[in-house]
Structure 1
Amino acid sequence: MSEEKDEGQKAEEIKAEEIKAEEIKAEEIKAEEIKTEEIKAEVEAKAAAELPQSPAEAPATAVDAEREAKLKAAAEARAARAAAKEPANAGGAAPEGAVDAEREAKLKAAAEARAARAAAKEAANAGGAAPEGAVDAEREAKLKAAAEARAARAAAKEAANAGGAAPEGAEPPPEPSPKQPELDAAAKLIRSLVHEEALEDAYINEMSRHMPTIIVKNEHWAATAELLKRHEELHFTYLRNVSGVDYETHLEVVYHLVHLESRRELAVKVKADRSDPVIASATPVWATANWNEREIYDLLGVTFPGHPDLRRIMMSDDWVGHPLRKDYEPLDSEV
């Protein structure tokens, strides 16, 4: 009996020791967890200490310098505008630099140009000579240079055809354009089938990708247009664009034609008297010309007999004048 008691007591002691061991182990685990938390907190505190300061606590050098400069420039601009506005309201002069010099120069130049044109027009109406300086010197120089260049080329060409030497000082004849045969063929057909003097000129426009260009006399334009589209060797079935130009001495309409199969191109120019500009409509031949001719009629005043619906397309029907003419004077200068 006493042996059973000893065994039971021993078992209880063993169990108590196991429980105590488990409690010790739990305390050790808890201690480790506490230590881990302390280490983690220490690491986080150190990392926080190394982070940059908040924007509010950042030093002055952290401010965006570019933004500050922009704000400063905007403030200065507002101040300058206000300074310019105040003297104007008070009837005084604006401070130096407040006025846009470039705009003033443009306005002055435009005023001088208008005055020169008006003076030249008055002198022409009165039958007298235009005052000195009224003629555009730059334009005159360009026209003179172009005429001299044409004369030199013509002299060189004549000398080459005659087998002689070119006159002294003349430019050597330029290399023939690869599109010269196209131009020669078109000009030959027009002269033989429309009229011998149907063309005023035929040349290669080297500045426009060697564009073959012809100037058709006004009275032969209708017949020439039919030939350019219908003849099997020409066959310019597509009219790409029509434009109008005011050269002050005359008005000019330019038709840009394309041969769709071969991609050949041809520019056709027709001149009109500036006082009464009339050019036969190309709309019956190329329907594309319809709205283009209406625009030229509206803005330049060229009349196109044969057009199916010739009326203004941009300005109102009661509009006075043609805005793209160089002598156009608007009723309201602000419009």
Structure 2
Amino acid sequence: MTKLPLKVQVAIRDQWDKDDCVLQNTLKKLREVIGVEIVVDPEWQLLFAELDTAYNDKAQFVADVVSCVFEWANALVYLAEKEDYSDWAEKLLDKAKGRIRLYLEVGKRSEPLVEWSEERASFVIELCKPPIPNAFSLQDMLTKQLLQCFEKKTLPVTPAHRPAAQPGDEWADVEVDTETGKPAVVERTPVSRGPLEPPSRAQWDVIPEMSTLPRPDELLLKPPYHLTVTSSNSRFVEVQCSHSPTLQFLAEYLKKWCKTNTQDSRKPPSVEVKLYQSAFGLGLNYDRLTLESEARWNIYTATPMLVLSLVEGTLGYQPVRSEDGRWVFRRDVELRKGR
């Protein structure tokens, strides 16, 4: 993990951590106005690793992060106190469920962007490289973006959004709704594929410079994708995959079609489907999915059959090998997702 320079550590201490600093006072005011807990806990090391080279003055990196969060909080206070936006504020409280959480990431735009993540039930600010807008412009920009956060945004599937067809790439893309972040597979046309052949390689390669590599959540969106399914008994199935949208698609599909356990008075799903976040990278990125049924209920089990069918028959992963209770797959053609 990137070690923060002393100048950055001091700036975090003075501009972020101090109870009486300007930012913390503003967050306290926001908490009082809205009446719910406000949670902002930046991954400083990861953010700095992404933006380090963009700042000659490392303390300015912290100042820019603080400015974005400060103006976000001010914009929320303004919208919460303004009678004209009472409906918007009610919608925010309904979605926040007793806690407003803010995540900080690094985007590709030239200006900061704030959006609402349905999946995380939280706001997300995408930071940008310097220079950021001045305080007045930044608050005005974030206020307008906040007002649009809960509007449904759908990315149309048009030729402009699809890459040129590649030989043997008849499988559909994994498209993601911009509001929900939930992937779905569309327009599938199964094709027969030959056995996997490893790509031709030179006799040796050079390990790339670390600074030239994208962060893990971006790196893993490029093939090859690796996936394993493991089932040691009839109550538990585990899927590990390097491609987060694949796991999100599997989870959404399985949750949608899972039966209810009618023998339990709480009427829970008969099989619990859980996604687990990766420990690497920025943003919401999954690398593990589990299916588990309770042993005390004998009517339902958790088997890998539907998962295997989806992985190979719908998503186009190719089997590499299998052994007792373990199946290994690989996909060499990219699965794209919408923004």
Fold-level similarity (TM above 0.5): no
User: With structure 1 as the length reference, what TM-score do the two structures score?
Assistant: 0.24
TM-score, normalised on structure 2? 0.24
- Greater relative contact order (Cα < 8 A, sep 6+): 2
Q: Which has the larger radius of gyration?
A: 1
